[in-house]
Homo-oligomer: A and B are copies of this chain.
Amino acid sequence: MATQNDLAKYAGVSAGTVSNVVSGSTRVSEKTRRKVEEAIQALNYQPNLIARSLKTQRTHTLGLVVPDITIPFFPRLIRAVEAACRERGYFLVVLDSQENHELELDMLALLRQRVDGILLATSGDGDWTEAVSSQILSGPPIVCVDRVPGKLNVDSVCVDDRRAAEMSVSHLLSMGHREIAIVTGPLTLKNEQERLRGYQHALQMAGIRPKNSLVWNAGFQENEVEAICQRNLLRSQRPSALLATNGVTGLGALKSIYAIGLSVPNDIAFVTFDEIAPDTVFKPQITSVIQPTHEIGFRAVELLLQRILKKEQDLPRSRIRLDATLVVRESSRRYGISD
């Protein structure tokens, strides 16, 4: 691999001048620029990024930590973020914390020296103690995407969780349901709190008093979700509709519905946040709250780069909220109405 020094010798100029050409400085005459560019061609020069990083203290790389790469939502988010990075000339490294807070903190630590900024969709499993938070916040800037820890004071980009939940509940109400249960993920996440709030608010607006017995708070462990759903579904008065606030509880709830031998939507109507399977082939097709993945990714990268590049002016915290879309499919169709 040729170095700038080699170029300098080949072109008969100094190393500093070569550097100026390579980094596109204007302080170089046309003539020498041309000479250096020839040398670049001739020696097939590629700048050494590691050396550059050592000098500039910038890696020109962003990190994205997702909580579970096997959930279909996250690959889509990854693609969006990757596209945004590519557009801005940044390299992206993706890590999967496997819904494990310890691992997540490890990964954040690993990223610290390797990236200029971090996009974080946190695991639901997190404590985010004061100590941990300040430790993390002392590293490269962070923007939370999709999943926002309740306690951490950071920039974030996600959907308007409350409205999305309200929309889902309104839909179920309009289908004639009055007994609507909700199965949430961990309430340590701001999103889950908001989605729950939206659910409660929509019910109240419709003159229905939310019942605690219809709020099923689960974590993100499959077994846990299924156990909680099964237990509740087997009780004497089963709700006529169920809203899951994310893909994990959605899939878990659906599994438990089937395990018990109920069918959707005839025995129980079902709506979930996020897609949990390819939507055209498999039955039942699930009514879902779809997030604008692409926009989330782009806005998050944009925000993060602002933080990175304009560190001078301490921007106020941004909480960007985007609109989600409810896609109505079979699983919430009115009783007894079929294809």
Contacts and interface: CB of A to CB of B under 8 A. Distances in A.
Interface string A130-153: 000000000000000000000000
Nearest to A253: B281
Contacts of A255: 280-281
A283 interface: yes
A37 interface: no
Interface string A238-263: 00000000000001001100100000
A98 B79 contact: yes
A69 interface: yes
Contact of A283 (B93, B114, B276, B282): B282
Contacts of A96: 75, 78-79, 82
A204 interface: no
Contacts of A98: 79
Interface stretch (A17-25, A42-50, A156-164, A229-237): A42-50
Contacts of A254: 281
* Chief secondary structure at chain A's binding surface: mixed
A115 to B, nearest CB: 11
A283 B283 contact: yes
A45 to B, nearest CB: 13
Nearest to A78: B69
A335 interface: no
Interface residues of A, number: 37
Given A50-B54, A280-B255, A76 B82 contact: no
A94 B66 CA distance: 12
A113 interface: yes
A283 to B, nearest CB: 5
Nearest to A66: B75
Given A93-B94, A114-B49, A258 B277 contact: no
* A54, A72, A79: most-surrounded residue (chain B CB, <10 A): A54
Given A48-B113, A70-B75, A79-B96, A277 B278 contact: yes
A53 interface: yes
A258 B278 contact: no
A199 to B, nearest CB: 23
Nearest to A109: B46
A119 to B, nearest CB: 14
A287 to B, nearest CB: 14
A106 to B, nearest CB: 9
Given A78-B96, A93-B94, 13 more contacts: A46-B113, A48-B54, A49-B114, A50-B53, A50-B54, A69-B79, A75-B96, A91-B110, A93-B93, A251-B281, A254-B281, A258-B281, A277-B277
26 contacts: A46-B113, A48-B54, A48-B113, A49-B114, A50-B50, A50-B54, A69-B75, A69-B78, A70-B72, A70-B76, A72-B72, A75-B75, A79-B96, A82-B96, A91-B110, A93-B93, A251-B278, A251-B281, A254-B281, A258-B280, A258-B281, A277-B281, A277-B282, A282-B282, A282-B284, A283-B283
